A and B are shown apart, each in its own frame.
Chain A
Amino acid sequence: MIPAAFDYLVPSTVDEAVRLLADAGEEAKIIAGGQSLIPVLRLRLADPGKLIDLGRIPELRGIRDDGDAIVIGAMTTHYDVQRDPLVHDHASLLRLATDTVADPQVRHQGTLGGAVVHADPAGDLLAPVLALDAELVVCGMDGRRSVAAKDFFVDYFTTALRPEEILVEVRIPKHTGWGAHYEKFNRVAQAWSIVAVAATVRAENGVITDARVALTNMSSIPVRAHAVEAALIGGPASPGAITSAAAHAAEGTRPTSDTNADSTYRQHLARVLTSRALTAAVGA
């Protein structure tokens, strides 16, 4: 299908992008990799008068070491995230989740920042960002501010980003040496998660010293399974301990019903998949 007509703006710096966005107001839409927005435009579910393309802003692309954190430019593609040694060493959970995103074509076009701002609760990168306690650095006319991932996701497709702001960086505290696993459950290979579990765990001498677990598509936003984390920390990295911790996975969740699953089944899946994710993360 053919999108409705729009003006296409291509800034070359973040400052220019922010200014264009402020000038355009409500009628503008930011386009990053376009892997979600373009289908929406083609189906005419949205018809923004202006599209501001962040694709030609070099400073938004790339991954750097920043001491106790790694910093991923918002326009870094999934493909680049998958191959990056810093991500591999310090945020392997993000890499493993990125491996499950769609297909190679999409991963060459889609971006981490785009996926985060799109805030589809069935998207695979929100839970890892939440689990890894990432900070989302956003920029508006008044300069930059940092929003914790736990405060960033507000509702379906809705974030704490203000209308005139763009996401510029994702700062991820280093989780060096942590085991990780992203357990995704869907019906066909190229589909959004029905439920998925992002787990990353630090274990020393058979004891779990720290754990982060977040769930995909168990609410209108990604959710942390704090009860699971609490049950794990300080306990043995054993199958029994993992199973009993995973039993808490669905606590406090209110997942939706759709054509693939009802809320009861989703909660059941959350428990099963959490157990599997943790088992893999501990073994990794």
Chain B
Amino acid sequence: MTTTAEPEVGRARLRKEDARLVTGRTRWTDNLTLPGLLHLAFLRSPVAHARITAVDTEEARRMPGVIAVFTGRDLAAAQGSLPCAWPITPDQKAPPAPPLAVDQVNFAGEAVAVVVARGAAQAQDALVGIDVTYADLPVVLDLASAAADSDLVHPDLGTNRSARWVFDSAEAGTGGDVDAAIGAAEVLIERTYRQQRLIPAFMEPRSVVVDPTGEQLTMWSATQIPHILRLMLALTTGTPEHKVRVIAPDVGGGFGGKLQVTPEEVVAMVVAQRIGKPVKWTETRSESLLSAHHGRDQLQKLTLAARRDGTVTGLKVELLADMGAYLRLVTPGVPILGAFMFNAIYKFPAYRFECTNVFTTKVPTDAYRGAGRPEATYAIERLMDELAVELGRDPIEVREQNWIKHDEFPFTTVAGLEYDSGNYEAATARAKELLGYDALRAEQRERRARGDVVQLGIGTSTFTEMCGLAPSRVLGALSYGAGGWEHAQIRMLPSGKVEVVTGSSAHGQGHETAWSQIVADQLGVPFEDVEVLHGDTQISPRGLDTYGSRSLTVGGMAVLKAGEKVIKKARRVAAHLMECAEDDLEFAGGRFTVRGTERSTGITDVALAVFAAHDLPDGVEPTLDSEATFDPDNFSFPHGTHLCAVEVDTETGFTRIRKYACVDDVGKVVNPIIVEGQVHGGLAQGIAQALYEEAIHDESGTLTTGTLADYLVPSAADLPHFDTDRTETPSTTNQLGAKGVGEAGTIASTPAVVNAIVDAVRHLGVNDVEMPCTPYRVWAAINGANPSTPSTTPAPGGGLGSVTPTEPTGGTA
């Protein structure tokens, strides 16, 4: 009997995890309560740069419910230094990064002391009883002057420049000499773009619970990376790795913001060990905005060389990247992840990338959705529009002239990557159709001719990204401190149900559903009979967690490989039970059938027989359970074409997205609903960078966008309907044919929106608007006014606009 059920892979299943997530009937870290649980509250520095000359905790210690108060000095010996896993150069400069500041604070919001109290409110109350004396040091805020070493963040390092990293296609042998290309260029486009500082703003605040009372210390944390965290906690605190268990229960979003070993996690662990009691810390929203790592923040100096006929001959990229005050887990590597992507989908013959990582007295930066690749895509896609304008050509036509044609794959790029597959022509044609490109161009001409107050602009963005982080040997070549493999285990239960253990650590991605679909097809068992286990180092002992659009292409592949081993083991037993040769068996729809006969047995029957172990071939262990660790040979390269039409009110500068159409090629799709959700969420975040979000500091280094009233995260009301579609060109770098989708929307949408805005008002003399393209900035660009942020300080009016969380003054209500 052969099952002819509809394949699970490709099916638009609702996510099995959503019922509990959407209704909140689950255990987030903050919901956990242990007997005798104590609560932590952190005192944070209100100043950006200062020596700590004295800390007096006496009054706080005497306050109701307070068990203990610790300063950085109290914990100095135990707390270690927060890890950075990615030294990008051998001579990279990095300061010590104590979880609690000891002698000096280097950003406003840095933790300087921690209160332990019986109740969370009592811990919070006691913070006012701690008196810290600061001796101010000069703040270092501006990236360019920081790079010039005007004032030093860490005087002991002697410079603010942490590292300089260069890729040159002539030196690498992957292309020509870019300076020669620039020298011979018929057209030169030189631009400087700013990637503003962003805040990941995940929905669930960070939270950590530590129980030190067992033989193993257990940490629950709202983290993307339980496995990496476990290792890093051991290395940081000296507690042996086998004495630490980390659990990431359901986690409410991360976007890279929870790809971190946080000061609070380390302090919670050290404090719990010190007092021998379980402790909990959950941040407030303002604390999150103020102290969790930020993203982006680069200054990009770009030179594009081309011939008059539109052929690009070279690209030179000089970056300044703001590290903030410290190097966190992968801080220095974020711009490097962009280094291979500036050439994007194009056949540039010469390329040079040079990045200088710079310290400032701001919150450390680190991974944020796309990490390096959105920055690169923004730069090149803005430049391609500028080139088209310079040549008087259609921007899509100029792109097509330079991109890799579908019959040219596999293609080795000027950055040395081998793109396996793609079809940029097909995606672009479909996107144009979805947008109604030609009709909108006609309307644009009509509105321009009429001098309409509301002008229409169309922005194009194509993209590819390196997904499926990552082949371990490549990470090694880039000096990253770990590999890029992923692990999975499949356990066949006696009743025929299946447990899948994965090292991927979902925090909203829907792995439980997607992995179940893969395994259901592979083993021929019902979708409902598969349980996916993850996020606990005791259940899922090996893993490298979830980030960089890697889970399906690496973690999903590990699941597939483990499944292959299960089938192989089962085949041997099935052959034995049916008294035939293994080669005579076909496996399909969950059954082994003796070729050419009606005789068959199900894999679940084999599982039961193996459990009983009464009749197994000699030398066969009584288990079908199998594990696999998959290390990819290459990245995968999703791509897409995004087109955005905006209406710009030229009187007010307000931008309204009229229509957004995108066609992504993420390879073979396991679950179209999950893909659609990832694209929508990604678009929201990418559009947010273009229009809304920016972390702003005042001249004293205080974050003035310290609440969601000032840090503008768009809601559904601010976003248009998205017209999405897909082309499906399977990846050839993995058996699933999948490419990764987690970051696609974020990467492609930002330049599409900004290109559209510039296109709408270019005839008014505008060739750039700095992000976020606020109404003020667009209006200023049209009117030749100063386009910088009018003030770094919120006005007294506007609700919470009057407050800075580190300076609880003001406020009458």
Interface residues of A (CB under 8 A from B): 1-2, 4-5, 29, 36-37, 39-40, 42-46, 118, 120-123, 156-158, 185, 187-192, 194, 217, 220, 256-262, 264-265, 268-269, 272-273
Contacts and interface: CB of A to CB of B under 8 A. Distances in A.
A191 B795 contact: no
Contacts of B775: 185, 187, 194, 260
B718 A1 contact: no
A120 B284 contact: no
B813 A265 contact: no
A217 B802 CA distance: 14
A156 B776 contact: no
A168 B792 CA distance: 38
B654 A44 contact: no
Interface in B755-813: 774-776, 779-780, 785, 789-801, 803, 805, 808-813
B597 interface: no
B2 interface: no
Given A190-B717, A259-B704, A261-B776, A43 B795 contact: no
A43 B707 contact: yes
A46 B780 CA distance: 37
Interface of B: 120-121, 124-125, 284-287, 651-652, 654, 691-692, 696, 704-705, 707, 709-710, 712, 714-715, 717-718, 774-776, 779-780, 785, 789-801, 803, 805, 808-813
B503 to A, nearest CB: 35
A262 B788 CA distance: 10
Given A188-B714, A191-B709, A44 B121 contact: no
Contacts of B120: 2
* Residue of A29, A158, A262 contacting most chain B CB atoms (<10 Å): A262
B790 A260 contact: yes
Given A46-B811, A122-B798, A258-B801, A191 B717 contact: no
B715 A39 contact: no
A120 B717 contact: no
A5 B125 contact: yes
A36 B802 CA distance: 12
B732 to A, nearest CB: 43
A189 B716 CA distance: 9
13 contacts: A2-B120, A29-B813, A36-B799, A40-B803, A40-B813, A122-B801, A185-B775, A192-B798, A256-B797, A257-B790, A258-B790, A258-B798, A260-B776
Contacts of B284: 1, 42
Given A39-B800, A258-B795, A5 B121 contact: yes
Contacts of B811: 40, 43, 45-46
Shortest beta-carbon contacts, A-B, top 9: A45-B811, A258-B795, A262-B790, A189-B717, A122-B797, A122-B798, A192-B798, A1-B284, A121-B797
Contact of B776 (A39, A118, A265): A265
A188 B803 contact: no
Contacts of B285: 1
B124 A1 contact: yes
Contacts of A37: 813
A220 B793 CA distance: 16
A189 B796 CA distance: 20
B656 to A, nearest CB: 12
What is the interface of chain B mostly: helix, strand, loop, or mixed? loop
A258 to B, nearest CB: 4
B776 A2 contact: no
Given A189-B715, A257-B791, A120 B799 contact: yes
Contacts of A220: 796-797
Contact of B791 (A5, A194, A259): A259
B796 A157 contact: yes
Given A43-B805, A45-B808, A260 B800 contact: no
A30 to B, nearest CB: 10
A122 B791 contact: no
A221 to B, nearest CB: 10
A220 B802 CA distance: 13
Contact of B803 (A4, A43, A118, A157): A43
Contacts of A4: 125
Nearest to B653: A265
* Residue of B120, B696, B789 contacting most chain A CB atoms (<10 Å): B789
A238 to B, nearest CB: 18
A123 B813 CA distance: 12
B521 to A, nearest CB: 43
Given A1-B284, A36-B813, A259 B799 contact: no
B793 A258 contact: yes
Contact of A46 (B709, B800, B813): B813
A121 B651 CA distance: 23
Contacts of A260: 774-776, 790
B120 to A, nearest CB: 6
Nearest to B704: A259
B205 to A, nearest CB: 10
B179 to A, nearest CB: 40
A202 B794 CA distance: 37
Contacts of A268: 779
A176 B603 CA distance: 79
Given A37-B813, A156-B796, 19 more contacts: A2-B121, A4-B125, A36-B799, A42-B284, A43-B805, A46-B812, A120-B799, A122-B795, A122-B801, A157-B813, A187-B691, A187-B774, A190-B717, A192-B797, A256-B796, A258-B790, A261-B790, A269-B652, A272-B652
A187 B410 CA distance: 45
A120 B812 contact: no
B795 A256 contact: yes
B717 A259 contact: no
A172 B100 CA distance: 57
A204 to B, nearest CB: 30
A217 B717 CA distance: 23
A118 B812 CA distance: 8
A259 B125 contact: no
A217 B776 CA distance: 16
Contacts of A36: 799, 813
Nearest to A269: B652
A61 B776 CA distance: 40
A43 B808 contact: yes
A190 B780 CA distance: 24
* Residue of A190, A264, A272 contacting most chain B CB atoms (<10 Å): A190
Contacts of B705: 259
B813 A192 contact: no
B780 A259 contact: no
Contacts of A264: 785
Contacts of B718: 188-189
Contacts of A40: 800, 803, 811, 813
A44 B807 CA distance: 10
A40 B712 CA distance: 19
B794 A258 contact: yes
A120 B790 contact: no
Contacts of B692: 187-188
Contacts of A46: 811-813
Given A36-B813, A185-B652, A43 B800 contact: yes
A189 B358 CA distance: 36
B124 A120 contact: no
Contacts of B696: 259
A190 B715 CA distance: 8
A260 B652 CA distance: 12
Contact of A258 (B791, B799, B805): B791
Contacts of B652: 185, 269, 272-273
Contacts of B793: 258-259
A274 B674 CA distance: 46
A283 to B, nearest CB: 17
A122 B715 contact: no
B25 to A, nearest CB: 22
Contacts of A217: 795, 797-798
A217 B794 CA distance: 13
B300 to A, nearest CB: 23
Contact of A265 (B780, B798, B810): B780
